[in-house]
Amino acid sequence: MTAKSLNNELEIFQIISNGGNAKSIAYDALKAAEEFEFDKAEQLIQQAEEELHLAHKTQTKLIQAEINGAPVEKSLLMIHAQDHLMTAISEQNLIKHMIKIIKKLAPSPKN
């Protein structure tokens, strides 16, 4: 195993880790919204977006390296990372929409 492929593996694991964190935090946000804790839900969605940003930044680094001529190994692990990230993005978008719906259905505060 070369140093370059080891570096790619670490970056791939970073995508998987950040993507998984983002998805988990987004589901925590949904649970908070189900309990009508919308401020908490918004904070958690923000944290999830930060995790996705980190994953996307790593993904972009790998893409740019390949564009600049540094071969990136296409492995099952890389495919898994891409799948993990795409799923996290998709689920976060769906969860954000679900939170909007829950807000509309939330009981009105009593004065």
For residue 108, give both structure tokens. Answer: 């009105």
Q: 3-class SS at 63?
A: helix
Q: What letters, b where the CB count within 10 A reaches 16 and e where it falls short, cover 21-33?
A: bbbebbebbbebb
Determine if residue 28 is labeled as part of a ligand binding site: no
Catalytic residue among 53, 56, 80, 97: 80
Please, what's the b/e burial string for 45-71 (b: 16 or more CB within 10 A of its CB; e: otherwise)?
bebbbebbebbbebbeebeebeeeeee
Q: Which of 31, 58, 63 is nearest to 45 (CA)?
A: 31
80 is catalytic: yes
- Binding-site entries for Mg(2+): 83
Question: Would you name the residues annotated as active-site residues?
Answer: 80
Binding-site residues:
83
